[in-house]
Structure 1
């Protein structure tokens, strides 16, 4: 095997497929990058048993062949090389890498031990705009559950149809629903996509306009540009989140996001052991009072002017979860908080290019 490729093109390709490298794997080949040179094209693959990534780039291929090289070592080398032509030669047991005055000889692994890229036949698929979808995933993926006891909550429910994209995520303490208008093609699409994988994939698109997402009975397949990524699909049925969406409220509060976030950060600075923040809404005085207390540190309060419709009301929330909501809508100026009683969930809402709804269970005051 012998080929020449530019350092910048090679580094970009390695950065993409490195997302599929195994970490601390006891199987050496899982920490490797499979390289295949064939007729003017280099193909790179990684596989960590959760996702499999394939990426192709053009190159000057003099001799075809395949090999497997340590991903970490290869990345470390290529990062340090100048932006010039990089020549690879060999591949059976060792491979030499040269670039200008630098040269390396690396031990390789047997490509015959590499698992073939998964074959798949899509049952359904949709093509969506990368930039918009990435913004939406950023707003919901942190809500996916970290507990393996309910795998379905580790995923994001993606539905696309009638030119509307919707993402839903929940860890059972809170629920986020994201809607946006975009061309979705014919038919309806629905899949539960692993949250971390979804976020990782959209961080790899690097300027691609569209991403294709398809499903088989056990896989989710992402395709964009010269990259294909296959992940296991989360089975089961996503909870019926629609029944959790309140149809009315007794109190509606318009909140300046920047001012509220700053006040929340101040009053919770003493809450080292108690994660609860109390929100008292005074409908007559048109103010919101934020307060926290800590048995060891004391108490903190701050009053914010707000627009209130309806009745005065109080509610307690886990302030870490409130911060997650504020971070998700930090690009907005204002958010609406809708309340029913102190024992029912609070609902944060914003509208715009992306409509965002965040339902948060209360804590006992």
Structure 2
């Protein structure tokens, strides 16, 4: 096996497939990248117990063949090489890598031990703009539970119907929903899949330069294809919680706030907090005032008052400071923000409107008087 390829092309390709290598596995072969060289093409493949990634680039192939080398090590070497052609040759079970005046020899693993790339036959698919879907994923995926024992709560529900994309995630303490309108001319009927949240985020991150992405499903898989990249992950088969029942149909208090000003105030007040303190909201609808208060037993006390447009019942409630900070990190740059409270002892709903509509529901924390 022998090929030559540009340093930047190889470095970019390895950065794409690196997300599929290793992880929590104890199998050495899964820490590697399978490289296939044939007909002027390099095909790179990585896999772990959760995902498989395949990426193709052009190269000058002098001798076709297959090789498996440690993916992270090969990636680190390639990124450090100068901007010059990279030569790769298999010599006596070692990969000889040369670039300008640099030379490396890497021990290889047996390509016969590397798992086959998953075979799939797409049952339903939809083409979506990458930029829009990436923005939507960035607003919901962190809300999904990180605890793998919680099953479907580690996933994101994705639906496409009547030219509307919707993503939903919850960890049972908060809920994030975003939707937008987009042309889906190739979709017949509706599309639905529950995708592991980290896989969904990774798939979009490695395909961010493509204009569109195909999202397809089989009975057990979710497949993402864009350009020369294919990303396959498992399809979660459990039933997603009935999230619509969690969203209040009416509210006792509605307030309109400037998103930027509110975010800045939360950041200032939270500066004295350590751990995960409670952020108190005191709302006076008649005066049109929201007072934010944070008390830290270690650091002290902080408060700030904001002018708001509000109607309904006055009252106070509290939320995890981290949950409110997460909301602002995910809400984007939409200027207007609406806060809706059904009851001061029940979840609050934050909403922003723009190209992507965003809803964030957070459970309250009992306040100590």
In terms of mean alpha carbon deviation, does 199-208 or 168-177 score higher? 199-208
Alignment pair present for 1:175 and 2:175: yes
> Which structure 2 residues correspond to residues 245-256 of structure 1 after superposition, within 5 A?
245-256=247-258
User: CA contact under 8 A between 2:277 and 2:295: conserved in structure 1?
Assistant: no
Cα deviation for residue 301 of structure 1 reads 2.2
User: CA contact under 8 A between 1:273 and 1:294: conserved in structure 2?
Assistant: no
> Within 2, Cα distance between the matches of 1:39 and 1:123?
31
> Which structure 2 residues correspond to residues 53-132 of structure 1 after superposition, within 5 A?
53-90=53-90, 93-132=93-132
Describe the SS at the equivalent of 1:198: helix
Cα deviation for residue 105 of structure 1 reads 2.1
Cα deviation for residue 202 of structure 1 reads 0.8
String of CA shifts for 1:75-114, please: whole Å, max 9, x gaps. 1221121222111122661121222222222221111111
What does residue 314 of structure 1 align with?
Answer: 316
Q: What residue ranges of structure 1 are gaps of 5+ in the alignment? A: none
Describe the SS at the equivalent of 2:149: coil
Describe the SS at the equivalent of 2:146: coil
> Within 2, Cα distance between the matches of 1:307 and 1:186?
44
What does residue 357 of structure 2 align with?
Answer: 355
What does residue 223 of structure 1 align with?
Answer: 225
2:292 to 290, 293, 299: 290
What does residue 12 of structure 1 align with?
Answer: 12
Q: What residue ranges of structure 2 are gaps of 5+ in the alignment? A: none
> Which structure 2 residues correspond to residues 120-199 of structure 1 after superposition, within 5 A?
120-184=120-184, 185-199=187-201
> Within 2, Cα distance between the matches of 1:318 and 1:134?
27
Cα deviation for residue 296 of structure 1 reads 4.5
Cα deviation for residue 267 of structure 1 reads 2.5
**Cα RMSD after superposing both structures:** 1.5
> Within 2, Cα distance between the matches of 1:229 and 1:284?
54
> Within 2, Cα distance between the matches of 1:72 and 1:297?
42
What does residue 300 of structure 1 align with?
Answer: 302
- Number of equivalent positions: 365
Cα deviation for residue 24 of structure 1 reads 6.1
User: CA contact under 8 A between 1:20 and 1:48: conserved in structure 2?
Assistant: yes
User: CA contact under 8 A between 2:130 and 2:208: conserved in structure 1?
Assistant: no
Gap change, CA 1:117 and 1:288, over 3 Å in 2? same
User: CA contact under 8 A between 2:88 and 2:96: conserved in structure 1?
Assistant: yes
> Which structure 2 residues correspond to residues 316-335 of structure 1 after superposition, within 5 A?
316-335=318-337
> Within 2, Cα distance between the matches of 1:228 and 1:273?
40
User: CA contact under 8 A between 1:157 and 1:168: conserved in structure 2?
Assistant: yes
> Within 2, Cα distance between the matches of 1:83 and 1:338?
55
Question: So what's the TM-score if we normalise by structure 1?
Answer: 0.96
String of CA shifts for 1:99-134, please: whole Å, max 9, x gaps. 222222222111111111111112211111101000
Question: So what's the TM-score if we normalise by structure 2?
Answer: 0.95
In terms of mean alpha carbon deviation, does 206-215 or 257-266 score higher? 257-266
Describe the SS at the equivalent of 2:207: coil
